[in-house]
Amino acid sequence: MTVLLYALGVLAVALGIAVSIALHELGHLIPAKAFGVRVTQYMIGFGPTILSRRRGETEYGVKAIPLGGYIRMIGMYPPRRDDAPGTIREDSTGLFQQMAQDAREWEAEQYDPAESHRTFSALTVPRKLVVMLGGPTMNLLISAVLLGVLVCGIGLPASSTTVETVSRCVLPADAPEGTSCTGHPEAPALAAGIEPGDRLLEIDGHAIDQWADVTSAVRGAGDREIDVVVERDGERITLHATPILDERPVIAEDGSAKTDAHGDVVTEEVGFLGVGPGQELRRQSPLEVPGMVLQTFEGTARIVVTLPMRLIDVGKAAFGDGERDPDGPIGVVGVSRLAGEVASADQPRFDLTAKVSTLISMLASLNMALFVFNLIPLMPLDGGHVAGALVEGVRRRIARWRGRPDPGPVDMSRLLPLTNVVALLFLAMTVMLLYADIVDPITLFP
């Protein structure tokens, strides 16, 4: 059964990634066709074609290596303008120029000159931006929809009013994990008979609606005896507890422990009971979705900006004795392994709802990563084409201001050497992450 659940988790995420890629390419395809560009291929994957079907002028298909996708539009590179008579063509003066010329000639052979008005290079700058941003925008929308499902449909993890843990003794706030209870007083909650699974209803006459109410009531009680009303097995029970005064961290508005200028935790003497909350999924208002999308975007952007350093750390972990950062980059194999672990997890906190929620969260994060990564202004990424279109727009506007002839489209074929280098770097990154995910995988349950 565990193996079957593991396989189902892998299959679910693989299917989600495939759909995300398909919709990304659809984000390019729809505006391209709407603007009259001739699209010859819409493919999911790379390498040999497994299955394809032609509809109209476009071939739709699936390829053998499921690591991306593409649409092929005619005329991605603009045709070469004829040089003035008697001059030497720049295209013939060097290796890189020859490479660009060969690329343009190959592109020109793919369509009839009568269709030059249907090429990508013939589009206006705004339309080029719409076509190239259509794919990443689709991933952003997918991420936003999935986060909306999490926030409003399933709910976000939040502390419940049900007791999950009861301390055996009172330890200092800075005591390391695993400290023995020998020589320390018994925790007030344990002495009062509070048990894991009890739902807290009232403390010292204060109704308990959320865990923050528990913290407030206990801290304010000091060291006097208070009544604690709990629900246990459907029965309402009143217990008597005497919190003790103890140095505890000062809680900030966001629920974290306050620290001083030196980074040390700020403490205060307050009442201490010794209970820990359980977790539950709590649905939020749709108004919370934009904030979640922004938070996910910021977290992903930080990873992408620091990607070179993070990849170095991955290399040290895979080929040396470094530790793998659980929040660092991860490849397709690593994502699949995590999905399998989630689906096959046999732990109380991982019920079916929690598993579905985690898998949806993973897909939302992956789509946000596709959105951010594709905006990097380097060829062959979408961001590279966007940068080229923006440069083209600036050049044309400057030419109009100066009363000069239209300089025409930016010839992105001149960037082919850099494009090939970037493509090789991406391939190397993919291979290294694949190796790291096999020899030193990130796991949910170390």
Catalytic residue positions, numbered:
25
Per the listing, tokens 């991605």 go with 76
Q: What angle do CA 235, 237, 239 make, to 5 degrees?
A: 160
Look at the alpha carbons of 282, 287, 289, 294 in this order and tell me if their dihedral is positive or negative.
Answer: negative
Per the listing, tokens 């629900």 go with 231
Per the listing, tokens 């593991």 go with 6
Q: What angle do CA 86, 109, 377 make, to 5 degrees?
A: 85
Residues 6+ apart with CB under 8 A from 405: 399
The span from the CA of 361 to the CA of 381, in Å, is 25
Residues pairing with 42 in the sheet: 60, 71
The span from the CA of 376 to the CA of 287, in Å, is 29
Residue 404, CA distances (Å) to 121, 389, 412 in order: 21, 19, 22
The span from the CA of 353 to the CA of 345, in Å, is 12
| Six token digits for residue 217 | 């009531």
- Specify whether the CB–CB gap between 136 and 384 falls below 8 A: no
CB neighbour class for 340 (10 Å; exposed up to 12, middle 13-18, buried from 19)? buried
- Specify whether the CB–CB gap between 324 and 436 falls below 8 A: yes
